[in-house]
Amino acid sequence: MLERWGTYVAVFDADRDQVPVFTVSGRWIGEAASPDAISDLIDAYEEGDPR
């Protein structure tokens, strides 16, 4: 399942806890450890922290 937040997209897979996150243009942002960590990952990316 895909879920979009503005210019970001997260890919949810019921078989995994980790959540890959991309921009809508396809740029890799990173992998959140859990759905609860998606906003932290996006915030870090926006602040220039390459996780």
Task: Report how far residue 10's alpha carbon sits from residue 12's, in angstroms, rounded to the nearest whole number.
Answer: 6
- The conformational region for residue 26 under phi > 0 = left, psi -120 to 50 = alpha, else beta, is left
The tokens for 47 are: 């602040």
Please state the rounded mean pLDDT for residues 16-38. 96
pTM, 2 dp:
0.85
Please state the rounded mean pLDDT for residues 18-31. 96
Share of the chain above pLDDT 70, in %: 94
Per-residue model confidence (pLDDT) at position 18: 96
Strand-pairing partners, residue 10, are: 3, 21
